[in-house]
Amino acid sequence: MTITASRLTKRFGDKAAVDGVDFEVGESEFFVLVGPSGCGKTTTLRMIAGLESIDDGELRMNSVVVNETRPRDRDIAMVFQDYAIFPHLSVHENIAYGLRSRRLASSVIRQRVPDAAATFRIEHLLRRKPRQLSGGERQRVALARALVRDAQAYLYDEPLSNLDAQLRHQAREDILALHQRQRKPTVYVTHDQSEAMSMADRMAVMRSGRIEQVGTPRELYENPVSTFVAYFIGTPSINLFQATLRAEVEDVWLEAPAFSLRLPPSRARALAGHVGGPITAGIRPEDLHPPRQAPFEVGEHNTMTARVDLVEPTTAGSTVYATMPGPAGDLDVAASFGARLPDRFVGQEVPLAVDLEKVHLFDAVTERSVLVDARAA
């Protein structure tokens, strides 16, 4: 099955919570809706489930419009954010609940419940009551209960937000492993971009009821259509600088009070209409390197200098937080190095080599990329 949303809209009063969103979820695709709190993720999911009426636009399953189809007839399983499991029922009965209400034979139930419990490693807890479980175990009961039955599609609303980091990683893997077995269209909602990036086949970044961009995690990371998407995706966040473009013979230079970078032809070509004007430059921390470790030739045309304020060790190396002088105070810049930067550099000025092939450029007024064609993206 596929799920298609066309101009899907939901209003509460005169405010559109979901404002004409378009996306398609393929046969066995794991599709993630991600965005800040209040951007319309839950409302979108509830419209797919049939729990919220659709004010405008169309929702199709395969090619059939299901706007008016009752939730039960859509045959969709959903894991809710505030996973309410029944406190008076055992783990076994909680998981069996959806199967009983669908009147499955008890022989089927006896077989499926332990299977689902095993998927989430709670098979030893089947006789317990929820109050005898940890938060992580209760979460896995909720997942098993929603996912025990074969549905046409699966929806998840921030199912891991109440778990601590380690359990969250484990649960992500469990959900993806289950998806590999089911191969059904899945829509997974989260506000956590790193969760989205690590789980999605494709993802949609939402903002104020609209979809800002849809694509694979890699496409959104490498070719964000707007400063919003660029800033939302990646940790630490992309460095954004106000700059101007200056043409000099064949070359285009990106000029800011603290640096001057010569853009490569791949970047310069798209910029004809912007020369002389203000531009927002985006440089990911991963694209700033210590000159001697840069995977490209380093010169004055691709180096900026910043004073190190803080060095934070990471698993891969270190994140360096530094500042450069700006017109209205210091400009912050973060750089992710593949190696440890020794503490003695704190307070020192260090050169940062910029991978110019990866510089992002946005119209300073519209905040849209001048490199990525939004229609093509």
Ligand X SMILES: Nc1ncnc2c1ncn2[C@@H]1O[C@H](COP(=O)(O)OP(=O)(O)O)[C@@H](O)[C@H]1O
Contacts with ligand X by CB under 6 A lie at: 12, 17, 35, 37-43
The dihedral through the CA atoms of 151, 157, 158, 163 has a sign that is negative
User: In whole angstroms, how close is the CB of 56 to ligand X at the nearest point?
Assistant: 15
Other CB atoms closer than 10 Å to residue 327's CB: what's the count?
9
User: In whole angstroms, how close is the CB of 15 to Mg ion at the nearest point?
Assistant: 16
Comparison of 42 and 239: residue with beta carbon closer to ligand X: 42
Comparison of 11 and 274: residue with beta carbon closer to ligand X: 11
The site map against Mg ion for 2-41 (x = CB under 5 A) is ----------------------------------------
Number of residues in contact with Mg ion under rule CB under 5 A = 1
Token pair recorded at residue 280: 């927002």
Task: Check whether the bond before 114 is cis (ω within 30° of 0).
Answer: no
Backbone angles phi, psi at 184, to 5 degrees: -120, 155
Comparison of 126 and 187: residue with beta carbon closer to Mg ion: 187
User: In whole angstroms, how close is the CB of 190 to Mg ion at the nearest point?
Assistant: 9
User: In whole angstroms, how close is the CB of 172 to ligand X at the nearest point?
Assistant: 19
Comparison of 31 and 241: residue with beta carbon closer to ligand X: 31
Interface with Mg ion by CB under 5 A: which range of 42-50, 135-143, 275-283, 333-341?
Answer: 42-50
CA 204 to chain centre: 8
Write the CA distances from 140 to 74, 86, 148, 275, integer angstroms.
Answer: 24, 14, 12, 55
Half-sphere exposure of 377 (CA within 13 A, CB side): 26
Other CB atoms closer than 10 Å to residue 101's CB: what's the count?
10
Reduced to 3 states (helix: H, G, I; strand: E, B; else coil), residue 333 is strand
User: In whole angstroms, how close is the CB of 42 to ligand X at the nearest point?
Assistant: 3
Comparison of 30 and 156: residue with beta carbon closer to Mg ion: 156
Contact predicate 185/1, CB 8 Å: yes
59 binds, among ligand X, Mg ion, none (CB under 5 to 8 A by kind): none
Element (H, E) at 307: strand 303-313
Comparison of 33 and 171: residue with beta carbon closer to Mg ion: 33
Backbone angles phi, psi at 373, to 5 degrees: -80, 115
User: In whole angstroms, how close is the CB of 119 to Mg ion at the nearest point?
Assistant: 25
Token pair recorded at residue 230: 């660029």
Comparison of 14 and 73: residue with beta carbon closer to ligand X: 14
User: In whole angstroms, how close is the CB of 9 to Mg ion at the nearest point?
Assistant: 17
Question: Which DSSP symbol is given to 177?
Answer: H
H helices of 62-125, in order, are 71-74, 91-101, 106-119
Query: Using the rule CB under 5 A, is 139 a contact of Mg ion?
Result: no
Query: Using the rule CB under 5 A, is 227 a contact of Mg ion?
Result: no
Write the CA distances from 296 to 218, 267, 299, integer angstroms.
Answer: 22, 16, 10
Comparison of 43 and 336: residue with beta carbon closer to ligand X: 43
User: In whole angstroms, how close is the CB of 216 to ligand X at the nearest point?
Assistant: 21
Query: Using the rule CB under 5 A, is 42 a contact of Mg ion?
Result: yes
**Binding interface with Mg ion (CB under 5 A):** 42
